Structure 1
Amino acid sequence: MRVLVVDDHPVVCDGVRALVSVTDDIEVVGSARSAREAVGLAGELRPDLVLLDLRLPDMLGSEALPRIAAVAPDAKVVIFTAYDDHAALSAALRGGAHGCLLKDVTDIDLVAQLRRVAAGARVVDPRLRESGGTPLRARLFRLSLSRREYDVVRLAAIGRTNPEIAEELGLTRNTVKTYLQTAMHKLGARNRVEAVRRAQEEQLL
């Protein structure tokens, strides 16, 4: 499976490339940082699958989708996003996206889901909803908190230790630590206690 990754954050492109490098059936053949660049590369490389960020500097993924389909009609497009309640998500799914995954998907899950898409399945992360929304999702979106960051803060708020959180969420301890640190940064907190207090003030808990 030849994959084109479209994301304006190089760390995401590099991360996906690293995750699939251990497989023998998936290869990242290119990466683009804008929708226009993605359209050019899709026409040139003719990938089997395009992992497309929902929010790009020049347009939304839902707007880029038909342009990519026009130059690479056989490519399957999967939306790859950190935002689970963006209005463009519904538009992208209605517009022919073959699936949508949240960026905090684990490496094993990512490879498995890409293989499912390649086999013809339409894959949508179960945490996503194609329509409607909840106050919680709206608050997470406003704070740029991913669902995983929220889950870590939520468990920390009820007294779970990092090892306990790791076990409950199926993550490594280092990953839990990283999620907690990024959540603290987004919440403007200096430590774990402040993060929980800020989450409560934002009505996340």
Structure 2
Amino acid sequence: MENKKINIVIVDDHPIVIEGLKMMLANQLGFTVSESFTSGKEITSFIRNHKVDIILLDITLPDANGTELCREIKKISPATSVIMFSNRSERSIIMQSIQNGASGYILKNTSIDELVVCIQGAHSGNIVFCNETKEIISKPSHNEVPIPRLTKREKQILQMVADGKTSIIIADELFLSPLTVETHRKNLLQKFQAKNSTELISRAAQQNMIDSN
């Protein structure tokens, strides 16, 4: 009896990346790429009704932060293994992805041989990394700010600050007092260990926590 193929879904906002992966994985015995998507909304909708073994998930999507999306996917389908597949090589993002339930983290410059081994490993229940990712996580950066935990309101205000809105405008749009907004801004500066709003936005962008569109 033929072994069942590992069912893979690719989520990436670059169609050329999807097509390249499909071609490479199509030549591998035991794999089948059943679907591909370019947004977070599409994959969460799909896995509610379909069984998926492995999801290759990009960090940066037009409608979602990959690390947060990973957590959502695992809530919907705990049996699905999510492997982050990204150009982002910051140690904090790699560790946050694993904390959010990812089964691995692979950089996009990884060879097809490494990718295959990682997919097989994740399907067997292991946490997998490409060689370059292993090197990154083995060398903790002392000056790297860990990804802070933000409340829903803090995330909202952080985005509005990044959009260039003043505390008065934010207070007006969120029906809060300017003093409350200022308190949230001070808390954000503290959590990101930032001296001012410019540094706050820069660090939040590095952590992929704001929408740059």
Given the two structures, how large is their TM-score scaled by the length of structure 1?
Answer: 0.61
2:35 to 8, 30, 33: 30
Residue equivalent to 1:18? 23
Q: Which amino acid aligns with 1:55?
A: T
Unaligned runs of 5+ residues in structure 2 are 1-5, 144-213
Unaligned runs of 5+ residues in structure 1 are 136-205
Matched, 1:58 2:85: no
Cα deviation code 1:55-96 (max 9, x no counterpart): 111121111012111222210000001111164332111111
1:18-167 pair list within 5 angstroms: 18-85=23-90, 87-128=92-133, 129-130=136-137, 132-133=140-141
Greater mean alpha carbon deviation, residues 2-11 or residues 39-48? 39-48
Q: Distance in 2 between matches of 1:110 and 1:134?
A: 30
Q: In the TM superposition, what is the alpha-carbon distance from 1:22 to its structure 2 partner?
A: 1.1
Contact 1:9–1:33 under 8 Å retained in 2: yes
Given the two structures, how large is their TM-score scaled by the length of structure 2?
Answer: 0.59
3-state SS of paired residue (2:48): helix
Q: How many residue pairs get matched?
A: 135
Judged with a 3 Å threshold, the aligned counterparts in structure 2 of structure 1 residues 134 and 26 are, in CA distance, closer, same or farther, namely: farther
Q: Distance in 2 between matches of 1:11 and 1:114?
A: 20
Contact 2:68–2:100 under 8 Å retained in 1: no
Greater mean alpha carbon deviation, residues 125-134 or residues 13-22? 125-134
Taking every aligned residue pair, what percent have the same amino acid on both sides? 24
3-state SS of paired residue (1:96): coil
3-state SS of paired residue (2:61): coil
Q: In the TM superposition, what is the alpha-carbon distance from 1:23 to its structure 2 partner?
A: 1.9
- Taking only aligned residues, the RMSD between alpha carbons, in angstroms, comes to 1.9
Q: Distance in 2 between matches of 1:8 and 1:132?
A: 30
2:9 to 4, 10, 33: 4
Contact 1:7–1:56 under 8 Å retained in 2: yes
Q: Distance in 1 between matches of 2:24 and 2:48?
A: 25
Q: In the TM superposition, what is the alpha-carbon distance from 1:20 to its structure 2 partner?
A: 1.0
